[in-house]
Chains A and B, each alone.
Chain A
Amino acid sequence: MGWFSKKKSHIQKRGNDESKSPSSFQRLRKSLEKTRAKISSKFKNIASFRKKIDAGVLEKLEEILLESDVGVVPTTRIIQEIRNAWKSKEIEETSDVYDFLKDKLKQGLKERDVSIRMSSVPPTVIMVTGINGAGKTTSIAKLANLFIKQGMKVMLAASDTFRAAAAEQLDIWSKRIGSDIVKHQTGADPAAVTFDALEACLKRKMDVLIVDTAGRLHTHDNLMNELSKIKRVISKKIENAPHEVLMVLDATTGQNAISQAKLFKRAVDITGIFLSKLDGTAKGGVILGMRDEIDIPVKFIGIGEGAEDIQEFDADKFVDALFD
């Protein structure tokens, strides 16, 4: 256990270092470039000919937030807060509004534990869920790679036995990053694959087991029940496991993300969100307003197609990269 807790602190330290290193911020900034350019240019447009705040400025802000997928309720709340601050003369200049907005958004995302809950006794089991096409398999590869880089032994369980060639896709990744993998035939019982992976994982004394699951729409009850079953199999085999249940969320998703999070939470009690594909345009705005509805922290972000394109979530960095 001693050696492991050392590693644990190493992870956390590494996380902190990373958040300060300019390169990771630059990369995030770059990946959000298009979004940011759109948002800030829109805002600068108003700011350039309106020095003082007025109703028109607030309306424009509302439009910016809505177009970033923040959602109607959170947007209305944030705009109301800005309006109150404006009425009470806390802010007057248009140029101040932007910083005020950023502060509010940062506050909304903070005070959450984003580090991965590692088990004091290995293996740490991480279950990964999400809807079809969210990017589960790629995100798992990134996550596994992160642990491997820290010198841990990682095994993947190819429990997506539904989609054609899902196990092959995971297999290719496992070879690329150098992890173990347990897989069955397509159409096999996903819970059985998981069970075998757990056995193998204990036998081979792995540090981390990451369980892939088939993508499923959160509205299909029978498929969600299957997911609960996989989780029960894990809990039965290893006490307190799975230690993390992550939901992979496509950053282009709109307000449906909230319903996804709610239903996946009900089925398998997800502990965190992996925000994937954060390198296009309007990106992940839905997480800015999500807390009004459901409190699940974003733990990781995926910002590219390579195994290294993963970062721990940092609220300040995220908001700055989005709005600066």
Chain B
Amino acid sequence: MFESITGSLDTIFNKLRGKGRLTEENIKDGLREVRIALLEADTNYAVVKDFIQKVTDRAVGDDVIRSVTPGQQIVKIVHDEMESLMGPGDSTIPFVDGGITILMLVGLQGSGKTTTSGKLASLISSKGRRPLLVAADIQRPAAIEQLQVLGKQLNIPVFSEKGVNPVNVCKGAIKFAKANNHDVVILDTAGRLHIDQKLMLELKEINSKVKPTQIYFVCDSMTGQDAVNSAKEFNAQLCLNGVILTKLDGDTRGGAALSIKAVTGKPIKFVGMGEKLDKLEEFHPDRMASRILGMGDVVSLVEKAQKVIDEEDAAKLEKKIKQGSLTLDDFLNQLQQIKRMGPLKEIMGMIPGLGKRMKGMQIDEKQMQNVEAIIHSMTREERIHPDIIEGNRKNRIANGSGTNVLDVSQLLKQFKQMKKMFKQFAGNGGNFMPPEGMAPHDAMKMSRKLRSKRKKVKRKKR
């Protein structure tokens, strides 16, 4: 995500940071390059113009030039302005108390409405509500079937009526929802070009007849300058309540994310981050700005980790580490937890500083699979006492896992080293050693956090 704009902005800022003193001329040169980077990222022309003006006004002031770290100041200003460009964030859905909340999704063809409908339904049902999906797209062949298949996967009912116009489908759906105790109705409408008056009228009719609680515009984040035009047009016709950006897991350049709030004034509610149906995330302008600027996104990373890591398990593991009785099973467990957090590339992109170093790098998820296979091919005894694994056993494990003896030996060696390291770490009174390349104050913060978390867990156990 955002590799290209992040890379070019980083080069620009590095140049600025390298200078001890900044002159107005330096700053303007730098910002001219920022302008190009933003335009290359498909940010709307007018938005860029405005953005650069604002940043320039703040940056050429005395504060920056006299500052000890002028380069850093400018990065901060750019970050702030980006955040305010995309913010304020608001990912809440105003559910109707005691009634039916109707959410209507609209957008151009191929922007991802049907998939997003499914993702949204899944998100809402995970919050304990009972959503109903409505196939109001009777234009595209097999659109209804697509929604039905999604509904089946998610175990969420889908309402559809063949041979009926979309307005009546929606009306029927509301009746159905009332009769069947659904409290949220999601309308998946047909994709259309915003200049197609006939289809626009149909949407307006649905809007006036069923009065949706919220209308969300689904926008492909790879759209170019046209993104804002279509958003503006839909907004003019339907008065949108928010935007859902899709396909953000590609190497989108972020232009749509940067422009759409500024032009329509409507907040970005959610972002689609992958093909799987649980990949709809809340939108946080500050985190997005950090990611665009290559500062990583530690907050999201921690949230992700909290989702998959069980605190009890973590406490048990800590005990084992302290006793030095860590087994390969524990190791496998850890690996699987990391895997559950999402693709490695995505996770590493959230670590500050790592994102830009990974540019163009291929991360081999296969290696993780190999490790899993090797451990799976071991007997229980071997997993608890890896020391007993010698020549014959190694051969068997390598054959069983489809790897070679070298891979097995390497894994065993790594595990041994890890155990040794942990032992030292535990003997050290639990002081956290910061990983290489981490800023000292960040490391301090993290260490403090880790310690307080450990205490919390302990307290809980008592």
Residues of A within 8 A of B (CB): 34, 63, 66-69, 71-72, 131-135, 162-166, 168-169, 171-173, 186, 217-222, 250, 252-257, 259, 277, 279-283, 285-286, 305
Q: Given the known A-B contacts A250-B110, A255-B40, are A131 and B142 also in contact in the complex, defined by CB atoms under 8 Å?
A: no
Contact B45 A66 (CB under 8 A): yes
B87 in the interface (beta carbon within 8 A): no
Name B194's closest neighbour in chain A (CB-CB): A280
Contact B110 A164 (CB under 8 A): no
Contact A286 B45 (CB under 8 A): no
Q: Given the known A-B contacts A169-B140, A280-B195, are A218 and B110 also in contact in the complex, defined by CB atoms under 8 Å?
A: no
B430 in the interface (beta carbon within 8 A): no
Rounded to whole angstroms, the CA-CA distance of A133 and B253 in the bound complex is: 18
Among B226-234, B328-336, B374-382, the one that faces the other chain is B226-234
Rounded to whole angstroms, the CA-CA distance of A59 and B40 in the bound complex is: 17
Q: Given the known A-B contacts A131-B247, A281-B194, are A68 and B225 also in contact in the complex, defined by CB atoms under 8 Å?
A: yes
Contact A67 B110 (CB under 8 A): no
Rounded to whole angstroms, the CA-CA distance of A245 and B127 in the bound complex is: 45
B30-44, CB under 8 A of A: which get 1 and which 0?
A: 000000100111100
A-B contact pairs, 23 of them (CB 8 A): A72-B36, A132-B115, A164-B153, A165-B149, A168-B141, A169-B146, A171-B142, A172-B141, A186-B149, A217-B250, A221-B362, A250-B222, A250-B223, A252-B108, A252-B223, A254-B223, A254-B227, A256-B224, A277-B108, A277-B193, A280-B108, A281-B230, A282-B225
Name B222's closest neighbour in chain A (CB-CB): A256
| Size of interface on B: residues with Cβ below 8 Å to A | 47
Contact A164 B146 (CB under 8 A): yes
Q: Which residues of B contact A286 (CB under 8 A)?
A: 224
Q: Given the known A-B contacts A164-B145, A164-B146, are A253 and B194 also in contact in the complex, defined by CB atoms under 8 Å?
A: no
Rounded to whole angstroms, the CA-CA distance of A101 and B365 in the bound complex is: 48
From the candidates A69, A168, A285, name the one contacting B142 in the complex (CB within 8 A): A168
Name B364's closest neighbour in chain A (CB-CB): A221
Rounded to whole angstroms, the CA-CA distance of A122 and B362 in the bound complex is: 39
B214 in the interface (beta carbon within 8 A): no
Q: Which residues of A contact B141 (CB under 8 A)?
A: 168-169, 172-173
Rounded to whole angstroms, the CA-CA distance of A254 and B229 in the bound complex is: 13
Q: Which residues of B contact A255 (CB under 8 A)?
A: 40-42, 224, 253, 255
Q: Given the known A-B contacts A132-B247, A256-B42, are A169 and B142 also in contact in the complex, defined by CB atoms under 8 Å?
A: yes
Contact B150 A164 (CB under 8 A): yes
Name A63's closest neighbour in chain B (CB-CB): B45
Q: In angstroms, how far is the closest chain A Cβ from the Cβ of B208? A: 25
Which residue, of B39, B111, B226, B250, has the highest number of chain A Cβ atoms within 10 A?
Answer: B226
Extra A-B contacts (8), CB below 8 Å, given A217-B247, A219-B250: A67-B45, A68-B225, A72-B39, A164-B147, A169-B145, A250-B220, A254-B255, A279-B193
Contact A165 B250 (CB under 8 A): no
B63 in the interface (beta carbon within 8 A): no
Q: At the interface, is chain A mostly helix, strand, loop or mixed?
A: loop
Rounded to whole angstroms, the CA-CA distance of A168 and B255 in the bound complex is: 34
From the candidates A72, A164, A252, name the one contacting B224 in the complex (CB within 8 A): A252
Which residue, of B39, B109, B223, B227, has the highest number of chain A Cβ atoms within 10 A?
Answer: B109
Q: In angstroms, how far is the closest chain A Cβ from the Cβ of B324? A: 38
B82-113, CB under 8 A of A: which get 1 and which 0?
A: 00000000000000000000000000111110
Q: Which residues of A contact B224 (CB under 8 A)?
A: 69, 252-257, 282, 285-286
B249 in the interface (beta carbon within 8 A): yes
Contact B229 A281 (CB under 8 A): yes
Name A65's closest neighbour in chain B (CB-CB): B45
Q: Which residues of A contact B50 (CB under 8 A)?
A: none
Q: Which residues of A contact B111 (CB under 8 A)?
A: 133
Q: In angstroms, how far is the closest chain B Cβ from the Cβ of A232? A: 19
Q: Given the known A-B contacts A72-B36, A282-B229, are A277 and B110 also in contact in the complex, defined by CB atoms under 8 Å?
A: yes
Name B252's closest neighbour in chain A (CB-CB): A256
Q: In angstroms, how far is the closest chain A Cβ from the Cβ of B34? A: 12
Rounded to whole angstroms, the CA-CA distance of A30 and B49 in the bound complex is: 31
B4 in the interface (beta carbon within 8 A): yes
Q: In angstroms, how far is the closest chain A Cβ from the Cβ of B56? A: 17
B313 in the interface (beta carbon within 8 A): no
Name B112's closest neighbour in chain A (CB-CB): A133
B282 in the interface (beta carbon within 8 A): no
Q: Which residues of A contact B365 (CB under 8 A)?
A: 222
Rounded to whole angstroms, the CA-CA distance of A220 and B275 in the bound complex is: 11
Rounded to whole angstroms, the CA-CA distance of A141 and B365 in the bound complex is: 37
B312 in the interface (beta carbon within 8 A): no
Q: Which residues of B contact A132 (CB under 8 A)?
A: 110, 112, 115, 247, 275
Contact A164 B253 (CB under 8 A): no
Rounded to whole angstroms, the CA-CA distance of A169 and B115 in the bound complex is: 15
Rounded to whole angstroms, the CA-CA distance of A63 and B41 in the bound complex is: 15
Contact B230 A259 (CB under 8 A): no
Contact B250 A256 (CB under 8 A): yes
B24 in the interface (beta carbon within 8 A): no
Rounded to whole angstroms, the CA-CA distance of A173 and B141 in the bound complex is: 8
Contact A133 B110 (CB under 8 A): yes
| B254-296 at interface with A (beta carbon < 8 Å) | 255, 275
Rounded to whole angstroms, the CA-CA distance of A255 and B40 in the bound complex is: 7
Contact B193 A66 (CB under 8 A): no
Q: In angstroms, how far is the closest chain B Cβ from the Cβ of A273? A: 15
Which residue, of B39, B45, B110, B223, has the highest number of chain A Cβ atoms within 10 A?
Answer: B110
B128-156, CB under 8 A of A: which get 1 and which 0?
A: 00000000000111110111111001000
B205 in the interface (beta carbon within 8 A): no
Q: Which residues of B contact A279 (CB under 8 A)?
A: 193, 195
Q: Given the known A-B contacts A217-B249, A281-B195, are A254 and B225 also in contact in the complex, defined by CB atoms under 8 Å?
A: yes
From the candidates B4, B195, B227, name the one contacting A34 in the complex (CB within 8 A): B195
Q: In angstroms, how far is the closest chain B Cβ from the Cβ of A240? A: 30
